[in-house]
Structure 1
Amino acid sequence: MTKNTGSQGRKPSVLDNFKPLLIDVAVPLGSYYLLKEAFGMSTFAALAWSSVVPAVRTVWSVVRERKTNALAGLILVVNVVSLLLSFVSGDPRLMLAKDSGVSSTVALGILASVWLGRPMMTAGMKPFLVKGDAAREAAWQRLASGAAADSAAFRRKENVFSIVWGAVLLTECVARFVGAYTIPVDTMVWLGSVYLVGAMVIGFVVSGGLAVEPMERMLKAEVEAGRSGRPAVTVAA
C-alpha cells in the first residue's frame, strides 16, 4: 500500500481553512487605517488601495495554481467591475457599497447554480467531508452519481448547503448596502468586516446542521457499505 506523503496527504488545519478569510478581512481593514491615519490619504484613496489586496490575492491564486473555480472567478470579476465604477464616481460610500455588490452577485450565482443542478458551494464543502481518503472519495462519487441508496437525499442536502449560503450572503448584502449609506464611513469600514464574519458564522452553523452533518452520516454509511460489499442502509436525513 502506498502511503500518502507531503501536501497531498496532509489534512487542512483550521488555520488553512480560514486563512483566505483572514487575509481578505484583516489585511484590507488594517491597510485602510494605516493609509488614512499614518500616510494621510483621503478616505476614498485609502479604501481604494486597501480593496486591491483581495483582488490581487485571487489573481495570484489563479496564476499559481493555474486553475480557478466558478466562485473565485465570479468574485474576481465583480471586484474588478466594482472598483472601476468606484474610481469613476470617486464616492467613498460607493466604494463601501461595492462589497454588497460582490455579496449579492455571488449569492445569486450560488442560487442559480442550484437551479441549474450544479450547486456551486459543493466544491468548497467536499474536501471537508472526503478528507483526502480514497474510500470516502469513492463513496462520495457513488452518492453524487445516483448509484447509492442515499443518493437522492445526499443531492438534496448538497442543494440545501448552497441555498443556505446564498440566502446568508444576500442578507449580508442588504445589511452592507444600507450601512454604506447610513453609517459614517470610518465606522462602516470595520463594521462591514463584522457583518462578513457574522454571516460566515451563521452560514457555517446553519449549513452544518441542515446539510453537512446529514451528508457526513450518509457518507460514513456508504463507506461501510462499500467495504462490506452490501447495499447501504438508507440514513435518515
Structure 2
Amino acid sequence: MKRPAERGPAQLLLLRGLRVAGAVLLPLALFYGLRTVGVSAYLALLAGTAVSLAGTAVDLVRRRTIGPATAFVITLMVFSTGVSLIAGDVRFLLARGAWATGLAGTWFLVSAFTRSPLVCVFSRPLLEGRFGWPGDWDAVWERVPRFRRVWRVTSVAWGLALIFDCVLRIFMAYTLPVDSVPSLSAALSALTTVVLITFANVYYQVTGAARKWSRFYAVPETPAQ
C-alpha cells in the first residue's frame, strides 16, 4: 500500500476546501454572474471551463509531476472543451464534467483490486492513528485481511456511485433547461459526497474498522493477498 506525502489534517482539509471552491463554486458563480448580465449560456459555460482548467494548471505547477490518471483527466477536459468549441454545442459542454466523474468512478473501481484502494489512499492522512483508528497502516494492511477488504469495498462503492452520478449528469445535461443544469450538477456533487461519506463512516463503525480496540483487529497474522 503506497503512502502519500505527509501533510497535517488541517492543511489537507484547507487544500481540499480550496480545490472545491476553485473546481465548483467559482465556475458556478461565474456562470450565473455572466448570465445575469446577458452573456449567452455557451460563453458563460466556456468561462467556467476556463476557470476549471486554470485551477488544474495551478495544481499541476505546484505538484510538478503528472501521473497517468491526472494526464488522462487533463486530456479528456481539453478534448471535450475543444470539441465544444468546434461544434458550439451547449449540451455537450454541460455534460463535460460527467466524463471526469465517470473516469474517477472507473479509477476507484480499478484501484479496489490493487494494493492502493483510492479511498484508503485519500483517507490515510486524516485517519491513521486518529479518531480511534490504529497507526501504522502498512503493518495492519499486511496482518489483517478484513482491513484490506474494508477499503476495497468502500472503493467499489465510491466507484459505482460516481459512475451512476456520471449517468445522471449526462441525463440532466441533455434533458433539463440549460440554466438549471450547473446548479443542479453542483447539488448532485454535494449529495453524492454526503451519501458516500455517511455510508463509509457507518460501514467503518459497523465493521469495527474505526475502533482499534475492537475484535475487527483480533485476527491471526496472514500474508497480504
Question: TM (normalized to structure 1)?
Answer: 0.77
Correspondence 1:85-124 to 2 at 5 A: 85-124=83-122
1:33 is matched by which residue type in structure 2? Answer: Y
In structure 2, C-alpha distance between the alignment counterparts of 1:180 and 1:17, rounded to whole Å: 26
What residue in structure 1 maps to residue 140 of structure 2? 143
Give how far 1:202 is off.
0.9
Give how far 1:118 is off.
3.4
In structure 2, C-alpha distance between the alignment counterparts of 1:197 and 1:12, rounded to whole Å: 21
Give how far 1:189 is off.
1.6
What residue in structure 1 maps to residue 184 of structure 2? 191
Give how far 1:98 is off.
1.4
C-alpha RMSD over aligned residues: 2.9
Correspondence 1:35-74 to 2 at 5 A: 35-38=34-37, 40-67=38-65, 72-74=70-72
Conserved 8 A contact 2:101-2:166: yes
Query: 2:21 matched to 1:19?
Result: no
Out of 202, 206, 211, which is 1:209 matched to? 202
In structure 2, C-alpha distance between the alignment counterparts of 1:116 and 1:8, rounded to whole Å: 24
Which of structures 1 and 2 has the larger relative contact order (alpha carbons within 8 angstroms, sep 6+)? 2
2:181 is matched by which residue type in structure 1? Answer: M
Corresponding pairs, count: 211
Distance 1:104-1:92 versus aligned 2 partners, 3 A rule: same
| Runs of 5+ consecutive residues of structure 2 not aligned to the other structure | 1-5, 221-225
In structure 2, C-alpha distance between the alignment counterparts of 1:96 and 1:10, rounded to whole Å: 34
In structure 2, C-alpha distance between the alignment counterparts of 1:18 and 1:131, rounded to whole Å: 23
Alignment identity in percent?
A: 24
Give how far 1:72 is off.
4.4
Greater shift, 203-212 or 154-163, is seen at 203-212
Conserved 8 A contact 1:78-1:105: no
1:81 is matched by which residue type in structure 2? Answer: F
Conserved 8 A contact 1:110-1:166: yes
Tell which structure's C-alpha radius of gyration is larger: 1
What residue in structure 2 maps to residue 182 of structure 1? 175
In structure 1, C-alpha distance between the alignment counterparts of 2:7 and 2:16, rounded to whole Å: 15
In structure 1, C-alpha distance between the alignment counterparts of 2:34 and 2:126, rounded to whole Å: 37
In structure 1, C-alpha distance between the alignment counterparts of 2:68 and 2:121, rounded to whole Å: 9
Out of 145, 149, 168, which is 2:161 matched to? 168
Conserved 8 A contact 2:9-2:126: no
Runs of 4+ in 1 over 6 A off after TM superposition: none
Distance 1:126-1:68 versus aligned 2 partners, 3 A rule: farther
Q: Which has the higher helix share?
A: 1
Distance 1:69-1:201 versus aligned 2 partners, 3 A rule: farther
| Runs of 5+ consecutive residues of structure 1 not aligned to the other structure | 1-6, 223-231
